[in-house]
């Protein structure tokens, strides 16, 4: 099933690049515009709006609220940098995703899929900073005996913290994607985590992630009727 997709941004080159990226995916570009205000609020039921907005989110907050009130559209913002206040205002206005422009094409497509599932998507680097005070002091260079995971589970959670999707993790470890999902369920249970984001934060805080600085996106899984390890 194709998803009607609108690309919003003042740069023609930006929109052209996104359009090429989305070609041959289920995200069918049906409209391009320079600003959100150009879209008719009542014309986008079930659509995905991918918005490049380098300015203050509060400038477009009334338009976002109007679009969300009038239809069931999903809105994802592309930002240049991680700013806690901008993310807070975005989600307060009803934005479904907030990702960085430096995100890889593969990670962007996965993020859009997560948004369609009803999850909220935001940069993992910000997630770590926001959750640190609730997860305790960060402990680096954890020793294997201090971690309640098997060697294989450690390999998976490290790649999870590095921002890799299940398909890539499976390919790197020469196992099936279904096996990765089974391991993730066990990992979440052992860590007492509710979703992939919490497992990734746990790994980063303990120095298990090989490259936490390259984290790009993570989704906060809903607690009802969602498979957090999928």
Question: 167 in helix, strand or coil?
Answer: helix
How do the pLDDT tens digits run along the chain, 230 residues long? 899 999 999 999 989 999 999 999 999 999 999 999 888 766 788 899 999 987 888 899 889 988 888 888 999 999 887 776 787 778 778 889 988 888 889 889 999 998 998 887 877 666 555 554 444 434 444 444 456 889 899 899 888 776 677 888 899 999 999 999 999 999 998 888 877 767 776 776 676 654 333 233 333 332 222 233 44
Nearest to 183 by CA among 159, 217, 202: 159
pLDDT of residue 124: 67
pLDDT of residue 133: 43
Say if CB 123 and CB 76 are below 8 A apart: no
pLDDT of residue 143: 46
pLDDT of residue 191: 87
What's the distance, CA 164 to chain centroid? 11
Number of Cβ within 10 Å of residue 131's Cβ equals: 16
Burial of 144 (0-12, 13-18, 19+ CB in 10 A): exposed
Give, as one character, the DSSP assignment of residue 43. Answer: G
pTM over 0.75: no
Angle at 136 between CA 135 and CA 141, to 5 degrees: 100
Nearest to 69 by CA among 103, 90, 45, 51: 45
pLDDT of residue 24: 92
pLDDT of residue 214: 29
Q: Rounded to an integer, what distance in angstroms lies between the CA atom of residue 216 and that of residue 128? A: 12
Query: Per residue in 157-175, pLDDT tens?
Result: 888 776 677 888 899 999 9
pLDDT of residue 5: 96
């Amino acid at each position: 099933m194709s998803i009607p997709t609108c690309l919003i941004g003042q740069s023609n080159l930006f929109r052209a690049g996104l359009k090429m990226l989305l070609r041959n995916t289920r995200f069918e570009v049906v409209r391009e515009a320079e600003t959100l205000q150009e879209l008719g609020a009542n014309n986008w039921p079930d659509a995905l709006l991918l918005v490049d907005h380098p300015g203050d989110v509060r400038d477009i907050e009334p338009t976002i609220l109007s679009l969300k009130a009038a239809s069931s559209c999903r809105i994802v913002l592309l930002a240049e940098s991680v700013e806690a206040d901008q993310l807070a205002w975005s989600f307060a206005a009803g934005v479904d995703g907030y990702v960085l422009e430096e995100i890889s094409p593969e990670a962007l497509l996965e993020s859009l899929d997560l948004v369609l599932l009803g999850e909220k998507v935001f940069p993992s680097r910000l997630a770590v900073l926001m959750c640190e005070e609730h997860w305790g002091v960060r402990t680096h260079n954890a020793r294997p005996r201090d971690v309640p995971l098997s060697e294989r589970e450690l390999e998976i959670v490290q790649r999870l913290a590095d921002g890799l999707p299940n398909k890539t993790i499976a390919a790197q470890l020469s196992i099936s994607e279904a096996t990765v999902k089974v391991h993730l369920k066990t990992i979440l249970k052992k860590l007492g985590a509710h979703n992939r984001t919490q497992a990734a934060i746990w790994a980063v805080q303990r120095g298990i992630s090989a490259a936490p600085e390259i984290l790009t996106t993570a989704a906060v899984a809903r607690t009802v009727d969602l498979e957090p390890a999928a």
